[in-house]
Amino acid sequence: MRNLSATVAWVCGLVTSLSAASYDSWLTGNPADTKPTQTRAGLFLSGGGGDVTAAWKWFVACSGGGDIVILRASGADGYNDYVFSKIGGVDSVQSIKFNDATAASDPRVLEIIAKADGIFIAGGDQARYVNYWNGTPVGAALNTHLRAGKPLGGTSAGLAVLGQYYFSALEDSVTSATALANPYDKKVTVGRDFIAAPALVGVITDSHFMARQRLGRLVAFLARIAADEKPQPSRLLGLGIDEATALCVEPDSTAKVFTEKNGLAWLVVPKNLPEVITPGKPLVTRGIHVIGLGPDSSLNLKTLHVDRPAAFRIVSSADGKLTDDPAAALTVPAKK
């Protein structure tokens, strides 16, 4: 049974804070660790540029309405009230802001993560997540969370680190023009094996996709992986998510798009090895399938079977730019 102070915090949604030199933390809701009756695995892949209410409700359902932990390396407690009061149906929301890498070994931080029923990684700068968490107890704790069958999500920079491969942004962000003109530019920094989500094996993710014209750089990331990985990956694809849009992946790898701005999720599937991928030279690669998924589409992320795609195109890269295959121009099925 909750004590009086815990009950007051739970009923009123009061925010309590905790700080150390290496991190700050804010808790809204019940401070006790109340276990939900059941959680289920799930991936909440959000493109940034606005939250998606329906996707958040799905994520909360996956958590069993238990304790949600928000991890971040900038900002503060902005998600606490949104999730606890506006989405609702959770026992608590706790945000942890990492101020430096030492927090990734802090016993209290690790205890909070271990007890989380759902974990969501906020936006910001993914280079901080890579520098602070990769190869640390926090990185291990995120994978333990996944193996326990609990949901994990991320938006923007938080989305960027969820695939088996990831753009680390260790040398700042990179535009499509720069990446296509030289896929070995110092800003094209691609890592692997940080977070081990089974549904995202062979996948590299990107956010703010069409708003920031990131198809070209995702094509370049895929070409770099194809050229550099030995042996060749048996599976390789990109997954771009538009703003105010989310792809929610069930335990069986089926996935559904939710959006608040008519956005899409984009599968980017190379069908051939790059023809020219040399430092200092423009990328030449052909036959990249780009499949847009909307709320009416269905996807199996394991088999890549798509029903009712919202858009389809085939692109190639040469001379530092993308072009569409004239025999497969952008196609958008008519709405019924």
- Measure the CA–CA gap between 233 and 121, rounded to whole angstroms: 27
* Tokens read off for 266: 């984009």
pLDDT tens for each residue of 231-240: 989 999 999 9
Beta-strand runs (E) in 115-223? 118-121, 152-155, 165-167, 190-192, 203-206
Max Cα-Cα span within the chain: 69
Q: Which helix (H) or strand (E) holds 271?
A: none
pTM of the entire structure? Answer: 0.92
CATH for the 17-155 domain, from 3.40.50.300, 3.40.50.720, 3.30.70.250, 3.40.50.880: 3.40.50.880
Q: DSSP readout, 90-124?
A: -SEEEEEEE-SGGGGG-HHHHHHHHH-SEEEE-SS
- Beta strand 152-155 with 43-46: parallel, antiparallel or unpaired? parallel
Tokens 């269905």 sit on residue:
298
- Measure the CA–CA gap between 168 and 160, rounded to whole angstroms: 8
Report whether the peptide linkage leading into residue 183 is cis, meaning its omega lies within 30 degrees of zero: no
In order along its 336 residues, the chain shows pLDDT tens digits of 333 333 334 444 455 666 678 999 999 999 988 888 799 999 999 999 999 999 999 999 999 999 999 999 999 999 999 999 999 999 999 999 999 999 999 999 999 999 999 999 999 999 999 999 999 999 999 999 999 999 999 999 999 999 999 999 999 999 999 999 999 999 999 999 999 999 999 999 999 999 999 999 999 999 999 999 999 899 999 999 999 999 999 999 999 999 999 999 999 999 999 999 999 999 999 999 999 999 999 999 999 999 999 999 999 999 999 999 876 544 544 333
pLDDT of residue 326: 76
Amino acid at 10: W
Amino acid at 259: T
Domain assignments of the chain as residue spans, ordered by start? 17-155, 163-336
Spell 169-187 as b/e; 16+ CB within 10 A means b: beeeebebebbbbbbbbeb
- Measure the CA–CA gap between 152 and 62, rounded to whole angstroms: 9
Q: Which helix (H) or strand (E) holds 57?
A: helix 53-62
